[in-house]
Amino acid sequence: MATQSLRPCGDFRTTYRQDTAIFDTFNSRWAMILFLALLYVMVLVPILAPGVEETPVLSTLFGPFYNAQYLSLAIQACYWGIAALGLNILVGFTGQISLGHAAFFGIGAFGSAYLNNTYGIPVILSIPLAGLIAAAVGLLFGSPAARIKGLYLAIATLAAQFIIEDLFIRVDWFTGGSYGSLANTVELPGYDFSAGEWVTLFAFDTDPKFFLFALTVTIVMYVMAANLMRSRDGRAFIAVRDHYLSAEVMGINLTKYRILSFGISSFYAGIGGALYGHYLGFVSAEGFTILLSIQFLGIIIIGGLGSVMGAILGTIFMVLLPEVMAGGVDIIASTDWGNTPMITNGLAFFKEMAIGAAIILFLIFEPDGLAHRWRLIKAYWKLYPFSY
Amino acid sequence: MRKTFTLACATSLGIMAAASTAAQAEDSVFVGHLMDITGATGFVGKLYGPAVRDAVAYINANGGIDGTTIEMDSVDYAYEVPRAISFYKKWTQNDMVALQGWGTGDTEALISFVAKDEIPVWSASYSGHLTDPTGINPNTQKPAPYNFFYGPSYSDGCRALAQWAMEDWEASGGEGTPKFVHTGDNHPYPNAPKEACAAYAEELGFEVLPPVVVSLKPGDFKAQCLTIQENGANYAYIGNLGPSVVSLFKSCDTVGTDVQFMANIWGGDRKTMEAIGDSERSLIFVAANAFWNDDAPGLETVRAISEMADPDVDFRTHHYIRGICTAYYMKEAMEWAKENGGITGPNIKQGMYARTDWVPEGMEGVCIPSTWTETDHRGTMTVNIYRGTNVDGEVGIERVTQTTLPRRDDWLGW
């Protein structure tokens, strides 16, 4: 059921190449490419033609893509989404568990800011380097996975969370201690040969520009993950998850792949963290708590464990849920009967509870996550109205 | 199931669309307001945040800024920095002219944003390094030209407590060198005054002990109490919030630690003293305004604001009153701006510099006279020190002293 395909009748896979295609059908591939291209265009137009968002007719068309709050939410979805995908590689594909993902996310954020501030490495390069730093730390803290699994591994990664979180406050030279550190905007550096110096070609200094940058990084990271999963290493991850003993019998080096999975997962967390840092412009140790780690787990459970698509769907859900709830609370508070202190104060808590309730409802009604629900919706329309 | 799901999707889309349609009133200025009601700092956030909201509602009901309404969007961001940023972005597109902020996390994150967008922000984070607008002090990492707050900084509050502790030590005939210790979680907020305060305590003649880490979340702190006892600390500064202070009191009462606790501005209030229950020890804490039951002319306004918001409430903490003070400084800075070129961010900032020893009208005796200048955002160096006691469930709050610290240059931004 979960692998339900939308392949038309009579369209068979005849080569291994077809069997491992990322998109099942021609249509789904082009739909995705068109959707992303359209997204780029819609965001680009207000950048290239300032004022278009204020002209009468075009404003309704381009307004949402210029709206600062929507863009800010979309950027959030990008950096959380990259980190969540990393955790999904570890938890969903390799069957390991990590309660320390937020710490690696933080290392990416601080690492990129540190490399840029201290060594003057352009942000655009310090982001992947920060990913590598996070990966190195992830390999280190993932090494217990060589020997332990399940709940014991969860506790070992919990230790990573606490140790690293504490280091964020103490290692002043790296993180700026309790004051945190500043992070510059992402810039595309260029070399001016006539002047003989480095100049800024293009700065992603506004939200629409930064969104395009974050979106590009997200697409690259997602394509990389989707490709990883159809490579030899990706299949090894899945084998380790499905039955580690059989995997070992087949000749898969369990230690190598378990730790490698931690490394890759932390790399993704690091990239996500670096984007987060450079977007906010400031990194504070306060942000990378165990709660964030658990939120990452929540994202991939809601989105669908072991699904690349699920990671981004879960992230979008998690980003939008508080906003939708806040909107609902606002509406109740704007009514006459709702605008009493008891109700408005109570609603604030109701909003938080609703997020918890949503997670429980998902676990009960949709344990395979949004990715599965998405497939069902597609199947429904594909077969409509002759679904039986 | 499928129908329910579709219905749920449609409803949520509808809610979002409705929520994003903001009403635009005639002749009004837009102010963003971040509150923490449900987040990590909600214990005091739900006292301070509504105060700002209620004060602005009262100002609007009484003529606004010379006829201009303050349109304020108060949101609970649950102490999550990314959500604060996302609200901030939304508001800047609504032509926000000023921002009422809250905690350490969002304030720090927004420093460079508000400086770039020229939006003055009044935070309830009193970190010393927010007070250096031009970066005069070489130790200042990041100048904060558009950051304001009303009240003494965490560092100055702690310095005043250290000064009081030394006077108390001498008055009570203590012998030898008194010992001073900082307690608090290993987080930006409790850590903010750590070094600055330790340096001044040493200057005063204290022996400063290594800091003791006490979690911001309440818990069993007997181990920490034993450490404090074994180190022989006489005065312990607490940089945490009320619930953690309560736990610390309970634990140290059980262990029998002989130390005088002193809390920062967020650590002591009537609710905390009530929660502590019967205790032999007292809590010394910092405050920056008159209390609900004091006798000051400005409290009439405070009571009217509270009455208008919720007639059933018969007591408000000093955090609530401080929130009102903060809103009133914003109001008068806006009035100045309106007379001098219009209510815009840079004009409001200038409005904050327009007066010296300034108490907003209607707040006489409530807010401490404050002065902000272009190079010094330490509004006040005056610190009120209170003592809270709880004897057989009877809470007593009394003012011990009012200390005015020297406005030292090396303390700017530290």
- CA B344 to chain CA centroid, nearest Å: 25
The answer to whether A182 contacts B89, with C-beta atoms less than 8 Å apart, is no
Other beta carbons within 10 Å of B125? 23
Confidence (pTM)? 0.80
Nearest to B93 among A68, A286, A322 (CB): A68
Query: What is the 8-class DSSP label of residue A84?
Result: H
> A9 exposed, middle or buried (CB, 10 Å; 0-12, 13-18, 19+)?
exposed
Edge-to-edge strand ranges of the sheet holding B121-122: B69-76, B28-35, B96-100, B121-122, B147-148
Residues of chain A positioned with their CB less than 8 A from the CB of B38: 348-349, 351-352
Query: Mean pLDDT over residues B230-238, rounded?
Result: 93
In chain B, where does the domain assigned CATH 3.40.50.2300 lie?
A: 26-152+295-380, 154-291+381-411
Residues of chain B positioned with their CB less than 8 A from the CB of A282: 108-109, 111-112
Q: pLDDT per residue over B135-150, tens digit each?
A: 888 877 778 999 999 9
CA distance A281 to A123: 12
Residue B23, pLDDT score: 37
Instruction: Find which of A167, A170, A179, A286 to mutate to test the B interface (most B CBs within 10 Å of its CB).
Output: A286
CA distance B46 to A386: 55
User: A336 by DSSP, 3-state: which?
Assistant: coil
Residue B216, pLDDT score: 87
Residue B13, pLDDT score: 46
Query: Would you list the domain boundaries of chain A?
Result: 24-66, 67-383
User: A202 by DSSP, 3-state: which?
Assistant: strand
Other beta carbons within 10 Å of A289? 18
How many residues are recorded in chain B? 414
User: Does A322 lie at the interface with B, CB-CB under 8 angstroms?
Assistant: yes
User: Does A286 lie at the interface with B, CB-CB under 8 angstroms?
Assistant: yes
Task: For chains A and B, count residue pairs whose Cβ atoms are closer than 8 Å.
Answer: 112
Judge whether residue B365 has pLDDT over 70. Answer: yes
The answer to whether A286 contacts B19, with C-beta atoms less than 8 Å apart, is no
Interstrand relation of B235-238 and B260-263 (parallel, antiparallel or unpaired): parallel
Of the pLDDT bands very low, low, confident and very high (cuts 50, 70, 90), residue A190 is: confident
Fold of A67-383: ABC transporter involved in vitamin B12 uptake, BtuC (1.10.3470)
> What sign results for the dihedral spanned by CA atoms A207, A123, A281, A203?
negative
- Poorest-pLDDT segment among A316-325, B316-325, B365-374: A316-325
Residues of chain A positioned with their CB less than 8 A from the CB of B186: 166, 169-170, 178
The answer to whether B86 contacts A276, with C-beta atoms less than 8 Å apart, is no
Residue A286, pLDDT score: 78
Residue A203, pLDDT score: 83
Query: Mean pLDDT over residues B322-342, rounded?
Result: 94
- Poorest-pLDDT segment among A46-50, B120-124, B198-202, B327-331: A46-50
Cα nearest neighbour of B188 on chain A: A178
CA distance B98 to B121: 6
Q: Write a three-state SS string for chain B.
A: CHHHHHHHHHHHHHHHHHHHCCCCCCCEEEEEEEECCCCCCHHHHHHHHHHHHHHHHHHHHCCCECCEEEEEEEEECCCCHHHHHHHHHHHHHCCEEEEECCCHHHHHHHHHHHHHHCCCEECCCCCHHHHCCCCCCCCCCCCCCCEECCCCCHHHHHHHHHHHHHHHHHHCCCCCCCEEEEEECCCHHHHCCHHHHHHHHHHHCCEECCCEECCCCCCCCHHHHHHHHHHCCCEEEECCCHHHHHHHHHHHHHHCCCCEEEECCCCCCHHHHHHHCCEEEEEEEEECECCCCCCCCCHHHHHHHHHHHCCCCCCCCHHHHHHHHHHHHHHHHHHHHHHCCCCCHHHHHHHHHCCCCECCCCCCCCECCECCECCECCCCCEEEEEEEEEECCEEEEEEEEEEECCCCHHHCCC
Cα nearest neighbour of B114 on chain A: A281
CA distance B116 to B103: 20
Residues of chain B positioned with their CB less than 8 A from the CB of A207: 89
> B139 exposed, middle or buried (CB, 10 Å; 0-12, 13-18, 19+)?
middle
Nearest to B186 among A169, A207, A281 (CB): A169
- CA B118 to chain CA centroid, nearest Å: 22
Of the pLDDT bands very low, low, confident and very high (cuts 50, 70, 90), residue B19 is: very low
Cα nearest neighbour of B80 on chain A: A287
Nearest to A284 among B12, B112, B188 (CB): B188
- Computed over its alpha carbons, how large is the radius of gyration of chain A? 22
Query: Under a CB-based contact definition with an 8 Å cutoff, are residues A151 and B161 in contact?
Result: no
ipTM over 0.95: no
Query: Mean pLDDT over residues B332-339, rounded?
Result: 94
List CB contacts of B96: < 8 A, sequence separation 6 or more. Answer: B30, B31, B32, B119
Residues of chain A positioned with their CB less than 8 A from the CB of B112: 182, 281-282
What average pLDDT is seen over chain B? 88
CA distance A95 to A237: 8
Residue B244, pLDDT score: 92
Q: pLDDT per residue over A309-367, tens digit each?
A: 999 999 999 888 888 887 777 787 777 776 666 666 666 677 667 777 877 888 888 88
Q: Which residues pair with B75 in a beta bridge?
A: B34
The answer to whether A365 contacts B1, with C-beta atoms less than 8 Å apart, is yes
User: Does A207 lie at the interface with B, CB-CB under 8 angstroms?
Assistant: yes
Residues of chain B positioned with their CB less than 8 A from the CB of A327: 15-16, 18-20
Phi, psi of A284 (to 5 degrees): -120, 145
Judge whether residue B10 has pLDDT over 90. Answer: no
CATH for the stretch B26-152+295-380:
3.40.50.2300
CATH architecture of the region B154-291+381-411:
3-Layer(aba) Sandwich (3.40)
